[in-house]
Structure 1
Amino acid sequence: MTQELKPLFTATSLVTGGRSGDLQLGRDRTPLTLRPARTRRAGTDPEELFAAGYAACYLSALNEVADARRVRVSGAQALGQVTLNVTDAGEYILSVALHVYLPDVAHDEALDLMRAAHAVCPYSHAVRGNIEVTLVAADAPLS
């Protein structure tokens, strides 16, 4: 059975030149320079942008879960790490690690909140079954 989708928001970005090109980000068309991963050139790469988007979306989902459970998570931090992997067959595969710091929340409770957030986060829905996602409850502030 197919669900009817009701759009809430559509984000757009315009890219010219691929990984070595230019990006006009969002409705304000904020200009960014793209660079291939593993280079020291100025700019950002697509994996960094994905890591930022996923971490922001995931932390919002975690805040909603915590609010519903009446758990205080002010000062929460999320660090997204997106890794570009290569298989023996030469295929490129992404993997994600989400590190979350929840001050004043016990480690086991933090992991429980993180799993619940992973179940409702739109980015997690998008990648579920496609890429490996590791959830890590951090015991100290992230930097």
Structure 2
Amino acid sequence: MTQDAKLLLTATSTVTGGRSGEAYIGRDRLHVRLRPGRTRQEGTDPEELFAAGYASCFLSALNEVADARGLKLEPPQARGHVSLHMSPEKDFFLSVVLQVYVPGVDRPTAQGLVNAAHAVCPYSRAVQGNVDVKLEVLDAPAE
């Protein structure tokens, strides 16, 4: 981080108990029950929270890119899939698939916007070189 960077936001969440605990998210202290992935317990897991955060940040970047190009988009949609893996050496790592639907533009334009958003999205930049991210442009909204 550079010394002259302007701080825009600091988000804070408090978690107790890890994957089987609870989280209080943000300034409104939204309470979320946490559960280990691959269980049927009520709640959410960290990968689902990361998928939601990444998808929402990505759409903000997409809208910024479109605005800079003079395009007014109908509301786009992103579905994030965050997968947790374990290597043969028992190391854990993540991968991401972002499926993005950009209504009202042709596929090449949508692909260009998605690629440009990926280059500037803070989440994309944060995981670059650490997490495999696959981008998919959808022809219809995800169900």
* Structure 1 and Structure 2 fold alike (TM over 0.5): yes
* Higher mean displacement: 10-19 or 85-94: 85-94
Structure 2 residues not aligned, in runs of 5+: none
Q: State the match for 1:42 in structure 2.
A: 42
| Contact 2:77/2:102 (8 A) holds in 1 | yes
Cα distance, 1:72 vs structure 2: 2.9
Q: State the match for 2:131 in structure 1.
A: 131
* Higher mean displacement: 38-47 or 4-13: 4-13
Identity, % of aligned positions: 57
Residue 85 of structure 1 aligns to a residue in which SS? strand
Runs (4+) of structure 1 exceeding 6 A deviation are: none
Residue 58 of structure 1 aligns to a residue in which SS? helix
The residue identity in structure 2 corresponding to 1:3 is T
Matches within 5 A, 1:1-143: 3-4=2-3, 5-143=5-143
* Superimposed CA distance per residue, residues 25-46 of structure 1 (whole angstroms, 9 cap, x where no aligned partner): 1111111100000000000000
Q: Considering only aligned residues, what root-mean-square deviation do their CA atoms show, in Å?
A: 1.0
Structure 1 residues not aligned, in runs of 5+: none
Alpha-carbon distance between aligned partners in 2 of 1:127 and 1:10, rounded to the nearest angstrom: 18
* Superimposed CA distance per residue, residues 50-92 of structure 1 (whole angstroms, 9 cap, x where no aligned partner): 0000000000000010111122321210111111111111111
Alpha-carbon distance between aligned partners in 2 of 1:12 and 1:67, rounded to the nearest angstrom: 29
Alpha-carbon distance between aligned partners in 2 of 1:46 and 1:76, rounded to the nearest angstrom: 24
The residue identity in structure 2 corresponding to 1:56 is S
Cα distance, 1:114 vs structure 2: 0.5
Alpha-carbon distance between aligned partners in 2 of 1:22 and 1:118, rounded to the nearest angstrom: 31
The residue identity in structure 2 corresponding to 1:67 is D
- TM superposition score normalised by structure 2: 0.95
Alpha-carbon distance between aligned partners in 1 of 2:47 and 2:106, rounded to the nearest angstrom: 31
* Superimposed CA distance per residue, residues 83-115 of structure 1 (whole angstroms, 9 cap, x where no aligned partner): 111111111110111111011211121111111
| Contact 2:74/2:104 (8 A) holds in 1 | no
